[in-house]
């Protein structure tokens, strides 16, 4: 009975994480298109939502384990996964509140690492895996996207710099629709898979799914729906930061930031290198600004974003570890996860209800 309740809670929490992942990362695909008016805000999030949904069905590969290669897989329990998800959700919500783009994948890994550490001690965490799959990619992704976008915008201005701005801007706005679509589709193939992997892991742990089996259709559909719904709702605070607070961009910069970003992500997919779409998208925007003029980038905003990236892993780990500790207060059964889920839900309903009542919710129109 207890294991069934925990399973239901983990599935619901994983879908909640998937939703926050969607609305947190909407900005990666749509911020530049909205900023340069290539797409209206509502059209941009609708396109991104549909393509994230479709993307979830494209790739056949599903992550078999959470934080594979970073924590000892055989030591991971459903309670650890639950605590890791709470850590990731908390960090996603905190960074959304401050309008800071940060990696949902790194938040999830941080949450699971913190919970595993709290549960099993240091031997549960693989330091080499953390360096290889989190720290090095966190350095490579933004730097690579920055340099590629900076060179890209220099070349683009060389080619079209003497032309009339009207047709040039119209052309780049059309190009942005294509690059935003690629970005969204790519995001769906990568990020919805994580939630499918988490739910599949919980189903395997509870004996409802054979190890190595494909996830059931309801898992695929629900993960795709959750990420698409989150994308459609849109994390407008982050969209505003990425679209207009880092640089004030023209359509050429918007296209180059997205085009370079999509190329870096697809190259990383091809070579099997795990890069965060958020780090790549942010690096691309900064590069497209710096390639035009270094002072075009608001380095204070960029610094805040980098600080959020640095804090993602330890902050999500701290919440994940603390959540695991709290669940243990209520014993080993389902009571701990149940109490924590209900508390979090009440808190969220309170916060969002208050904001909506005050009419201060940020929306596509806001």
Partner 1 sequence: MAAIVDTEILGELILGAFVAGIGVTAVFGLVIYGSTRFADMRRQGNTVGAVFFGVMATLALLVFFGSVALGLFVMTDKD
Q: Which residues bind partner 1 (CB under 8 A)?
A: 55, 58-59, 61, 128, 131-132, 136, 140, 144-145, 147-149, 151-153, 155-156, 158-160, 163-164, 167-168, 171-172, 175, 178, 182, 185-186, 189, 255-256, 259-260, 262-264, 266-273
Taking the C-alpha atoms of residue 269 and residue 273, their distance in angstroms, rounded to an integer, is 6
Q: How far is the CB of 189 from partner 1 (least distance, A)?
A: 5
Taking the C-alpha atoms of residue 57 and residue 244, their distance in angstroms, rounded to an integer, is 32
What is the number of residues in the chain?
A: 366
Taking the C-alpha atoms of residue 206 and residue 7, their distance in angstroms, rounded to an integer, is 7
Taking the C-alpha atoms of residue 23 and residue 21, their distance in angstroms, rounded to an integer, is 6
Taking the C-alpha atoms of residue 264 and residue 248, their distance in angstroms, rounded to an integer, is 22
**Residue 258 is encoded by which pair of tokens?**
């997205």
Nearer to partner 1, 293 or 360 (CB): 293
Q: How far is the CB of 211 from partner 1 (least distance, A)?
A: 19
> Cα torsion at 169, 175, 179, 182 (round to 10°)?
160
Q: Which helix (H) or strand (E) holds 353?
A: helix 335-358
Q: How far is the CB of 140 from partner 1 (least distance, A)?
A: 7
Q: Provide the β-strand partners of residue 68.
A: 71
Taking the C-alpha atoms of residue 348 and residue 342, their distance in angstroms, rounded to an integer, is 10
- In the chain, how many H helices and how many E strands? 13, 0
**Residue 174 is encoded by which pair of tokens?**
């059309």
Cβ neighbors of 174 (< 8 A, separation 6 or more) are 38
Q: How far is the CB of 51 from partner 1 (least distance, A)?
A: 11
- Of 188, 270, 278, 200, give the one whose Cα is nearest residue 226: 188
Helix axes 277-292, 299-329, angle to 10 degrees: 170
**Contact yes or no for 22/96 (Cβ under 8 A):** no
End-to-end Cα spacing for the chain: 46
**Residue 86 is encoded by which pair of tokens?**
């709470």
């Amino acid at each position: 009975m207890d294991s069934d309740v925990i399973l239901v809670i983990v599935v619901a929490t994983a879908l909640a994480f998937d939703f926050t992942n969607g609305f947190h990362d909407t900005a990666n695909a749509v911020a530049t298109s909205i900023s340069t008016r290539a797409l209206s805000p509502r059209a941009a999030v609708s396109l991104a939502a549909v393509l994230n949904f479709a993307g979830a069905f494209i790739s056949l590969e599903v992550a078999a384990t959470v934080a594979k290669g970073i924590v000892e897989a055989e030591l991971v329990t459903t309670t650890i996964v639950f605590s890791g998800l709470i850590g990731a959700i908390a960090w996603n919500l905190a960074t959304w509140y401050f309008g800071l783009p940060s990696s949902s994948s790194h938040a999830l890994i941080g949450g699971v690492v913190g919970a595993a550490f709290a549960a099993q001690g240091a031997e549960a965490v693989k330091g080499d895996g953390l360096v290889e799959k989190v720290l090095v990619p966190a350095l490579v992704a933004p730097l690579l996207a920055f340099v590629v976008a900076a060179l890209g915008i220099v070349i683009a201005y060389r080619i079209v710099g003497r032309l009339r701005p009207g047709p040039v801007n119209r052309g780049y706005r059309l190009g942005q629709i294509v690059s935003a679509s690629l970005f969204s589709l790519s995001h769906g193939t990568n990020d919805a898979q994580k939630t499918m992997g988490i739910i599949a892991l919980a189903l395997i742990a509870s004996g409802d799914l054979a190890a190595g089996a494909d996830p059931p259709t309801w898992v695929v559909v629900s993960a795709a729906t959750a990420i698409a719904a989150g994308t459609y709702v849109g994390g407008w605070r982050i969209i505003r930061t990425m679209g207009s607070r880092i640089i004030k961009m023209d359509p050429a910069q918007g296209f180059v930031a997205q085009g370079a970003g999509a190329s870096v992500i697809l190259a990383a997919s091809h070579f099997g290198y795990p890069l965060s779409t958020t780090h790549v998208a942010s690096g691309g925007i900064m590069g497209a600004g710096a390639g035009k003029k270094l002072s075009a980038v608001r380095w204070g905003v960029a610094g805040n974003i980098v600080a959020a990236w640095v804090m993602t892993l330890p902050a999500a780990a701290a919440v994940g570890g603390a959540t695991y500790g709290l669940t243990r207060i209520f014993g080993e059964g389902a009571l701990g996860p149940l109490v924590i889920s209900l508390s979090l839900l009440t808190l969220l309903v309170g916060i969002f209800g208050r904001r909506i009542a005050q009419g201060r919710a940020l929306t596509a129109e806001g």
